[in-house]
Amino acid sequence: MSAPDEDLTAFVRERMAHFKAPKVWHPVEALPKTATGKTQKFVLRGGATAIARQ
């Protein structure tokens, strides 16, 4: 983990239960959206490869 990842994890652990804090962070430019502006959750569940194809 890099320093910003560690900072994010520390920030989240202060506010959430430790087991809910993500272990790995995947930064993206923008969340994938539909034509109506809703977030495409099925693409996010597909992982980084699905986001890269968008």
Chain CA centroid to CA 39, Å: 12
Q: Which residue pairs from 1-6 have beta carbons closer than 8 angstroms and sit at least 24 positions apart in sequence?
A: none
pLDDT reported for residue 23: 82
Tens digits of residue pLDDT in 1-53: 567 888 888 999 999 998 988 888 878 788 889 999 999 988 888 876 666 66
Fold (topology level) of 3-53? GMP Synthetase; Chain A, domain 3 (3.30.300)
Q: For residue 31, which of 23, 20, 21, 43 has the smallest C-alpha distance?
A: 43
CA distances (Å), origin 18, targets 3, 21, 39: 19, 6, 26
- What residue segments make up the domains of the chain, in order of their start? 3-53
Q: How far apart are CA 54 and CA 50, in angstroms?
A: 7
